[in-house]
Amino acid sequence: MEIQLKNDKPAVGNQVFLIAATAALRQLPLNENELAYVQAKLTDAPGLLTLNRLGRWIFIVAIDGGKAQNQQVELWRRRGNELAAIAKKEKIRAIEIHAADTGKGPLLAFAEGLALGNYAFTKYFTDGQAKQQYLSEVTLVHGDIAPADIERLKAIIDSVTLVRDMVNEPVVSLNALKLAERFGEMGREAGFTTEVLHQNQIESLRMGGLLAVNKGSIDPATFSILEWKPETALNSRPIILVGKGVVFDTGGLSLKPTPQSMDYMKSDMAGGAAVAGVIYLAARLKLPLYLMALVPATDNRPDGNAITPGDVITMHNGTTVEVLNTDAEGRLILADALSFARNYHPDLVIDVATLTGSAAMALSTQGIAGMGSAGAETMARLQQAGDEVYERVVEFPLWDEYDEMIKSDIADVKNIGSREAGAITAGKFLQRFTAYPWVHLDIAGPSFLPSADHYRPKGGSGTGVRLLFRFLENYVESIRPKADKLE
């Protein structure tokens, strides 16, 4: 889908008008009957109204007032997605979107929802469904929109699309090596660097957690290091994003049952894909921050030599772990990446992982479980960004008492707690491998959807990309020297 910008208002083709107050309806190309009809309808139930003029479409869109600002923005995104559905059904190819009296914020949000909702993973259909992306030309008409706004929107859509594609790709065509290759391609396109550590280097670095999970795999593990370090960077020590890259999680010898459990586990690299998507966005939009992403990747499978319940392993930082459940593999590979992150003396480390069913049980697909040691201000900023982009974060506690639950009889720590507080004991496990301000985001619930939720399609959602990019943009604004600000 091509999104473009126009600053004048020639009335042609299919048009969408976004309305804040019904008074704005008078400016629209409607006759008296239509005006009365639209006015009555929108007053009764604000939403998306369709007028079909023999093949030429006019849509008039309003939202419920009286909600919080971030919820109103979200309603515009959802209305945009409704248009995507109609466009698909009616085979509409091109459309012009006008902000009648709403300003550019709602227009950009509407376009974002439209483009995000227009996503489909079609590469494996052999009957040409891939070509059924009808809406191919979207023109935004508003004098206040700058070309940079459009570039930003396009980059966000492209990033979320790339991430969704990776999450939806099955392991047969996306193993750890292929995942690393995709990061390399993204880097070449956007301008960040990717270094991939291979099996022998991972062995030399004694990444015992990643190697243990990889023991049951016939494919080698990878450890990808993505870097975006512009000359304009406002920070001298990096912000590091760490993403879980389990390309398929069978559970290993602690095998998962298939229905509603193992069957979606191609998505267990969603955190790794998301952090790559954030670096991609930062590079494409030249965000003035020094950023890195670390993605340890492997599949988790049972095999003759697979890691076995009861095994004790030694991690990258020397900690010993009693592995009592091979299905708690994410924390093992992340722990090595978190220890490794220390080499870069980071300002802040945020890990993103489909880590526990427990987080999904607590929040379903609507929320991300956040926890960490970075302090209240960082958590508040993440939650603020989450509210803005509607990838909401709720804080879970990392109280000392939970450490008791992961004490091992024979090693420094064990890799499972009990059923209770499973998302938290996973976080407590990770915390032992951090020595800097750190936040853990468990995206197990929202990363892969069993059915579409507005502009988030069934399957890979791209969760984490918009959240973290907004967080970083807001961070830039907060530290940018005041003189630089153009107000």
- Provide the annotated active-site residues: 256, 331
Site string for ligand BES, 196-235 (x = CB under 6 A): ----------------------------------------
Site string for Mn ion, 268-307 (x = CB under 5 A): ----------------------------------------
The residue from 357, 394, 437, 458 that contacts ligand BES (CB under 6 A) is: 357
Nearer to Mn ion, 156 or 307 (CB): 307
Nearer to ligand BES, 208 or 346 (CB): 208
462 interacts with ligand BES by CB under 6 A? no
Q: Binding partner of residue 416 among ligand BES, Mn ion, Zn ion, none, CB under 5 to 8 Å per kind?
A: ligand BES
The residue from 49, 328, 332, 468 that contacts ligand BES (CB under 6 A) is: 328
Tell me the β-bridge partners of 183: none
442 interacts with Zn ion by CB under 5 A? no
Nearer to ligand BES, 356 or 463 (CB): 356
Residues from 385 through 444 that contact ligand BES (CB under 6 A): 416, 422, 444
Longest dimension (CA), the chain: 82
Nearer to Zn ion, 63 or 426 (CB): 426
- 210 Cβ contact list (under 8 Å, min separation 6): 202, 221, 223, 296, 298, 332, 333, 336, 337
Counts of helices then strands in the chain (DSSP H, E): 13, 20
Residue in 271, 243, 262, 300 with CA at minimum distance from that of residue 443:
271
Rounded to whole angstroms, the Cα distance separating 302 from 254 reads 8
CB 212 within 8 A of CB 140: no
Nearer to ligand BES, 230 or 357 (CB): 357
82 interacts with Zn ion by CB under 5 A? no
Work out the angle at residue 330's Cα, subtended by the Cα atoms of residues 439 and 451, and round it to the nearest 5 degrees: 85
442 interacts with Mn ion by CB under 5 A? no
Residue in the shown chain whose Cβ atom is closest to Zn ion:
249
The residue from 74, 96, 249, 387 that contacts Zn ion (CB under 5 A) is: 249
249 interacts with Mn ion by CB under 5 A? yes
Select the span of 213-221, 248-256, 286-294, 316-324 touching Zn ion (CB under 5 A): 248-256
Rounded to whole angstroms, the Cα distance separating 252 from 209 reads 14
360 interacts with ligand BES by CB under 6 A? yes
The residue from 96, 249, 322, 391 that contacts ligand BES (CB under 6 A) is: 249
Give the dihedral sign, CA 422/423/427/430. positive
Dump the DSSP string for 14-77: SEEEE-SSGGGGGGSS--HHHHHHHHHHHHHS-SEEEEEETTEEEEEE---SSS-HHHHHHHHH
Rounded to whole angstroms, the Cα distance separating 194 from 103 reads 40
Select the span of 233-241, 303-311, 314-322, 353-361 touching ligand BES (CB under 6 A): 353-361
Select the span of 18-26, 126-134, 163-171, 321-329 touching ligand BES (CB under 6 A): 321-329
330 interacts with ligand BES by CB under 6 A? yes
Q: What's the min distance (Å) between Cβ of 252 and Mn ion?
A: 8
- 236 Cβ contact list (under 8 Å, min separation 6): 290
SS3 assignment, position 335 = helix
268 interacts with ligand BES by CB under 6 A? yes
Treating both helix axes as pointing N-terminal to C-terminal, what angle do 465-479 and 147-168 enclose, rounded to 10 degrees? 140
The residue from 74, 96, 268, 299 that contacts Zn ion (CB under 5 A) is: 268
* Residue owning tokens 């800097």: 436
Nearer to Zn ion, 158 or 169 (CB): 169
Q: What's the min distance (Å) between Cβ of 29 and ligand BES?
A: 49
The residue from 112, 219, 322, 327 that contacts ligand BES (CB under 6 A) is: 327
Rounded to whole angstroms, the Cα distance separating 182 from 195 reads 12
Give the Cβ contact number of residue 259 at 10 Å.
Answer: 7
Residue in the shown chain whose Cβ atom is closest to ligand BES:
357
- 182 Cβ contact list (under 8 Å, min separation 6): 162, 166, 174, 276
CB 272 within 8 A of CB 243: yes
Q: Give me the residues that bind Zn ion (CB under 5 A), please.
A: 246, 249, 268, 330
Interface residues toward Mn ion, by CB under 5 A: 249, 327, 329
Contact residues toward ligand BES (CB under 6 A) are 249, 268, 325, 327-330, 354-358, 360, 416, 422, 444
